[in-house]
Amino acid sequence: MRTEISDKDDLDGFFSWKQLIVEEMKLRGDTWENLVGTTLTTKGMNKKFYVGHGIEEGEPFTLWTKDRVYFPVCYDGAESVGSVPRNPCDEVTFHIGG
């Protein structure tokens, strides 16, 4: 699980799903322009919530791009975004959560 977000603009631990999704996209070589669909509303996408240890505050979602599927991950109350390939390939998926 990733514990640091490279381009933090909120030092207090509050982020939006959009910020976390974009960070995961960067790691995977994906871009927002590849978006196909999402279950998040604009409000849900941009709402800031505490991603540190504690209770889950971010709303559940699924987001699809041309190549990947993104979803919320929670480990010991800390929230982040995970993704898997959208189509069969040779990329392995490591354990998610904890």
> 13-60, pLDDT tens digit by residue?
899 999 999 999 999 999 999 999 999 999 999 999 998 877 778 899
Tokens of 40: 């998040």
Q: Is the pLDDT of residue 4 over 50?
A: no
pTM: 0.85
pLDDT at 9: 53
pLDDT at 75: 86
Q: How far apart are CA 41 and CA 12, in angstroms?
A: 24
Residues forming a β-bridge with 82: 71
Distances (CA, A) of 55 to 12, 65, 76: 16, 28, 9
Q: How far apart are CA 11 and CA 14, in angstroms?
A: 8
> What's the mean pLDDT in 1-11?
46
Contact residues for 43 (Cβ-Cβ < 8 A; gap 6+): none
